Amino acid sequence: MKRRQLLQHLALYSGGAALGLNLLGQRVLASAGADAQYPIFSGHHFLPRAKRVLFIWQQGGMSPYESFENKSILYRLNDTSPAKYKGQCSVACLKPIYPFAPQGQSGIEMSDRFPHLAGVIDEMTVIKTLQNFAPAHPQASNFLFTGERLNDKPSLGAWVNYALGSDNPHLPGFVSLGGADNISNGFLPSDLHGVYFETEGNALDFLERPERISAAQQRSAVEQVAQLDRLYAGRSGDTKGLAHGNVFELAHKMQSSIPAVLNLDDEPDYLREDYGLNDDATKTMGTNLLSARRLLESGIRFVRVTDPGWDHHSGLDTQFPVKARGIDRPLSALIRDLKQRGMLDDTLVVVAGEFGRTPFNEGKIIGGFGRGHNPDAGIVLLAGAGIRKGSVYGETDEFGFDTVKDPVNVNDLNATILYALGIDHMRLTYELGGRTFKPTGVGECRVVRELFA
C-alpha cells in the first residue's frame, strides 16, 4: 500500500493534522494525564524487551582502531599511503596504537585501554558498522538522535516518551546528563524536551523554591498557570499550550523528587568505589552513570549521558587513554550493577558516537597521532534487553574504512532501540506541514532483529 499517497488523501479529507496521530495504527490511552497532548500507547506493537534505555553518547566519535578494530594490514602499511586510496587520502596509514587481545569467553578482540570493560564484554554486542549520513559533527549528531540533518527535530528520547509517556508522575520521561545537545522535543509537545541535570552541585538550577515564597503560594501559582493554559486551550481550540502547564507542574514535583533521586550518598561504598567515584580520572563518568542508574530505576524511560571529547584528530597517544580510562571502569560497573539488580533484562544500554574514524593518521598534518571522521564504519556497544551476549555484528573491509557486511545506519540503530521498547518506528508518526514525520528520518531503514538473542 502506498502509504504516502494514503496520507496525502487523508490530509485532503480531514486537514491532516487531526489524523496524524490516528494513523499510528495505534490504540491510545485517552486518559494519560487529563490534558495529555500526545498519544500514550495502550499497547505495544511488539513484545517489549526493554522498559528503559540508557544512551551513552561518545560525543566526537570514538576511534575503532584504538578500541575494537584490529586490522593487520595497518601494521604492514603503517606510515605509507596504500595504493588503494591514492588520490583520495593524502595521509598515511596509522596502525592501532595500543595492543589488542581477545577478551572474555567470547574472545572479542579489544585494545588494552579497556581492561575493566573486558570483564563484561561477554554481556555485550559490538557493532562495527555504524553508518551515518554526514561526516561532520553537528549534522551527524542530528542524524544520530533525530534521523534528520537539521537541528530542529525531536530527539529519540522525546519520541519514546511521546509514545509511552513517563511512568513516574513525579519525574520527566527523558533526562540528559553530561550535556544538553540534541535533546530537543522539536515539533513534539514541549514537555517532552529532555531535562538536563547537572550531576555535580545543583541538579537543576533554580529548582528550589525561593525562601520568600511559601509552598502554598507556589502551588497556587502553578495551578493558576495551568488554569490559564486550559482557559486558552478551551477558547482557541489550540491545545499545544497545555504542555506549558505540564512543565510547571512537573518542575514543581521535581523539587521534592529530584534531590532524592540524585543523592548518591545512599549508595553503598563498594558500589561507589566500583563506579570509580573515588578516583578523579573516573569520577565524572562514574557519577553520571550511577546517577543514570538511579534515574532509570526511578522510572525515567530514556536517559542520555553525554561523554564529550572523543574527537581525536590528534592526541590518540595522549588524550585517548584519558577518555578510555574515564569510561572503562564506570561502564563496566554499570553493566554489573544493572545485572545484579535484575535491571539488565529490561534496560537497553547503548554506547555510540556519531561516527567512526579513518585508518589514516591525521596527526601527520596537525601533529601527534590522530584520525579523521569516518561516517562509513563506527563502533556501537549494546547490552541488555535481550541483546546477544558476547557477539560482534557487522564486517568492515581490510582497512576498516568501509562496511562490507551488515551495515547499521543511525536510523537502523534507532529503529532497533524502538523495537526493543516494543514500538514500530513506522507507526510512531507525527503529521506536520503536510509531511508525516517518524523518528527514523526518511529513506529505507530496518530493525536489526539479528542483534537480539
Closest approach, Cβ 277 to other proteins, in A, equals: 17
Among 4, 9, 84, 219, binds other proteins (CB under 8 A): 9
By CB under 8 A, is residue 47 in contact with other proteins? yes
By CB under 8 A, is residue 266 in contact with other proteins? no
Among 46, 85, 100, 232, binds other proteins (CB under 8 A): 46
Closest to 207 in 3D by CA, of 196, 193, 194: 196
By CB under 8 A, is residue 342 in contact with other proteins? yes
Select 21 or 207, whichever has its Cβ closest to other proteins: 21
Select 267 or 376, whichever has its Cβ closest to other proteins: 267
By CB under 8 A, is residue 345 in contact with other proteins? yes
By CB under 8 A, is residue 29 in contact with other proteins? yes
Contacts of residue 149, Cβ cutoff 8 Å, sequence gap at least 6 = 133, 134, 139, 142, 143
Contacts of residue 296, Cβ cutoff 8 Å, sequence gap at least 6 = 52, 54, 303, 343, 347
By CB under 8 A, is residue 19 in contact with other proteins? yes
CA angle, 91 then 96 then 102, to 5°: 155
C-alpha separations of 256 from 161, 214, 349 in Å: 22, 15, 28
The CA distance from 58 to 380, in Å, is: 10
Closest approach, Cβ 115 to other proteins, in A, equals: 22
Backbone angles phi, psi at 201, to 5 degrees: 70, -145
Select 46 or 232, whichever has its Cβ closest to other proteins: 46
The CA distance from 67 to 101, in Å, is: 11
Closest approach, Cβ 47 to other proteins, in A, equals: 5
By CB under 8 A, is residue 13 in contact with other proteins? yes
CB 352 within 8 A of CB 378: yes
Closest approach, Cβ 299 to other proteins, in A, equals: 6
Among 27, 84, 219, 405, binds other proteins (CB under 8 A): 27
Q: β-strand 403-405 against 195-197: which pairing, if any?
A: unpaired
By CB under 8 A, is residue 424 in contact with other proteins? yes
Select 112 or 167, whichever has its Cβ closest to other proteins: 167
What cell does 263 get? Answer: 543523592
Among 28, 89, 204, 432, binds other proteins (CB under 8 A): 28
The CA distance from 119 to 423, in Å, is: 32
Q: Is the dihedral of CA 384, 180, 416, 358 positive or negative?
A: negative
Distance of CA 102 to the CA centre of its chain: 28
Residue 13 half-sphere exposure toward CB, CA atoms < 13 A: 7
Select 237 or 342, whichever has its Cβ closest to other proteins: 342
Q: Is the dihedral of CA 109, 114, 117, 118 positive or negative?
A: positive
Among 90, 341, 366, 442, binds other proteins (CB under 8 A): 341
Closest to 64 in 3D by CA, of 375, 363, 387, 318: 375
Closest approach, Cβ 224 to other proteins, in A, equals: 21
By CB under 8 A, is residue 422 in contact with other proteins? yes
Q: Which amino acid is at 279?
A: D
Closest approach, Cβ 341 to other proteins, in A, equals: 5
User: Could you tell me how many residues of this chain bind other proteins (CB under 8 A)?
Assistant: 44
Among 4, 14, 76, 228, binds other proteins (CB under 8 A): 14
Q: Give the contact letters, 149-188, x = binds to other proteins (CB under 8 A), - = no.
A: ----------------x-xxxx------------------
Query: Which residue stretch of 38-46, 126-134, 178-186, 302-310 sits at the interface with other proteins (rule: CB under 8 A)?
Result: 38-46
Closest approach, Cβ 51 to other proteins, in A, equals: 8
Query: Which residue stretch of 13-21, 109-117, 275-283, 428-436 sits at the interface with other proteins (rule: CB under 8 A)?
Result: 13-21
Give a three-class secondary structure readout of 199-268: CCCCCCCCCCCCCCCCHHHHHHHHHHHHHHHHHHHHHHCCCCCHHHHHHHHHHHHHHHHHHHHCCHHHCC
By CB under 8 A, is residue 390 in contact with other proteins? no
State the residues that interact with other proteins by CB under 8 A: 1, 5-6, 9-10, 13-14, 18-19, 21-32, 40-48, 51, 165, 167-170, 299, 339-342, 345, 422, 424
